[in-house]
Amino acid sequence: MRIGSFELKDRLFAAPMAGVTDRPFRRLCRRLGASYAVSEMVASDPRMRASGKTSRRLDHEGEAAPVAVQLVGADPAVLADAARYNVDRGAQVIDLNMGCPARKVCQVACGSALLRQEDLVARIVESVVQAVDVPVTLKYRTGWDPHSRNAVRIARMAESAGVRMLTLHGRTRACGFGGDAEYDTIAQVKQAVRIPVVANGDIDTPQKARYVFDVTGADAIMIGRAAQGRPWIFREIGGFLRTGSVQPPAAVQEVRGLLQEHLDEHYGLYGESLGVRTARKHIIWYTRRLRGGTHFCDRMNRLERCEDQRRALDEFLQEAGERDDRLQYLDDSIEETAGPECGGDNGDLDAIAACEN
């Protein structure tokens, strides 16, 4: 499929998640089979541009095209200016966030709160499309609540304004991440417009990916939370869609090398002090469901140096590889969570951890 002039090699996308999909993680997902990955949401407010956090989010060094930056905001003129600013710094696609359900975002009338103001949605989309000469895309939810689903109207409005692709999460804002995503609305949007439509929400296995393609007719699917600690899910889904066969679990020694490279790039982006804190959540997602993961995660929360983290993870995976050639996950029902201490930016509007919008 295509986004503007960009031809994508596959139909598997990595979702933008604040505090998660930074440049190192996006590059890893792309390496493992995602053909497209969108940045963490970037505040449109120009006062945020001088912050170290925003600077890191606008760092696209070594990132494969198309470079996609997601903007969050509610003022059409400010969003248009932010779009121009990001295009001048390397963005090749501008994605508009109208899907984040987080309270701190919605309280300032951003994210999925915009779905209650269709006239404002129209002004935002038109303003940003007119401001830049790169494709503008929209990621949103099915509506504010189950009684006011307006995804089809917004889809038609966006297409008329020049939006080049729609990504739709199969929940309303009121649903948060509770219950199950519904895909009927995504199928209706696909029938209503001619631009590409991407399905998002609860796609966590290769079989579920095929099901969502079948029931929605979507042009692509976007994976979010299921890729946390399992970026090779893109490869697993791609293999299943091509062959119909379930791929074996990832080889421990391959994962060992991939994760060391991920940590090296992560520390390089964040530095020692911030790097050790922001890496914890990734390490814990990678390991918490493996044998011995509970004890290891408890230990990881006490390490204060990047090199100690790196060495501990390598030793843990070496021991796992001595037991099994491939990753062996414990029962999903085992409760092992990273907790707020595992990284970083809790409470910050511009970095709401793991907000898969």
Annotated catalytic residues are 100
- Which candidate, 347, 267, 264, 354, places its Cα nearest to that of 40? 354
Place of tokens 């590059």: 27
Task: Count, in order, helices (H) and strands (E) of the chain.
Answer: 12, 12
- Kindly give, in sequence order, each residue whose CB lies less than 8 Å from that of residue 322, ignoring residues fewer than 6 positions away: none
* Ordered DSSP codes for 206-244: HHHHHHHHHHH--SEEEE-GGGTT-TTHHHHHHHHHHHS
- Kindly give, in sequence order, each residue whose CB lies less than 8 Å from that of residue 194, ignoring residues fewer than 6 positions away: 159
Q: Taking every pair of C-alpha atoms in the chain, what is the biggest distance, in angstroms?
A: 60
* Residue 266 structure tokens: 């992560």
Q: What are phi and psi of 143, to 5 degrees?
A: 160, -175
Rounded to 10 degrees, the C-alpha dihedral 215/221/222/224 comes to 50
* Residue 338 structure tokens: 């990273």
- Spell out where 111-204 has E strands: 136-141, 165-169, 197-200
Residue 222 bridge partners (DSSP): 13, 200
